[in-house]
Structure 1
């Protein structure tokens, strides 16, 4: 999770694609230049060994210059699974 956050900060699209499940990876990552990332807090990590799923609840803070630089956050429960013997992001649920 931390490496994916760093990839967003560095705008490393190749790494994001490498760590994203092939069935849910977007073709376009939008206007990444407008986002300034301010920090990442990982709240909890859980695993479901039976289904080989892993969950990370996090809060990522950012400012978006397209929104007048107003600070905001993403609070998500991300799900990771294995694809080609590597753990990748498949989807997430936004939390309030």
Structure 2
């Protein structure tokens, strides 16, 4: 395995659509946590906002993350999320200092 990968994903949903984001997360979270190399997969709402979320992910390696992106549940999630999101998510890859 390679070096651990940490991601912070900034998500904004359309007004009134937060429950759709939460529901999708709750549906796929057990599947993602069961994937090889998944160390963390956690969604949090931004304090004071009804439309902003932060998803944090940790993967054992780039290879595990690449496999994650190709799973059927993630492909399905990627096809559904534009229905309730305000725009594309911003993915930030973190590098330790």
Please indicate, yes or no, whether the TM-score normalized by the shorter chain is above 0.5: no
Q: Which protein has the bigger helix share?
A: 2
Q: Which protein has the bigger strand share?
A: 1
State the TM-score, normalizing by the size of structure 1.
0.31
Structure with higher RCO (Cα < 8 A, 6+ apart): 2
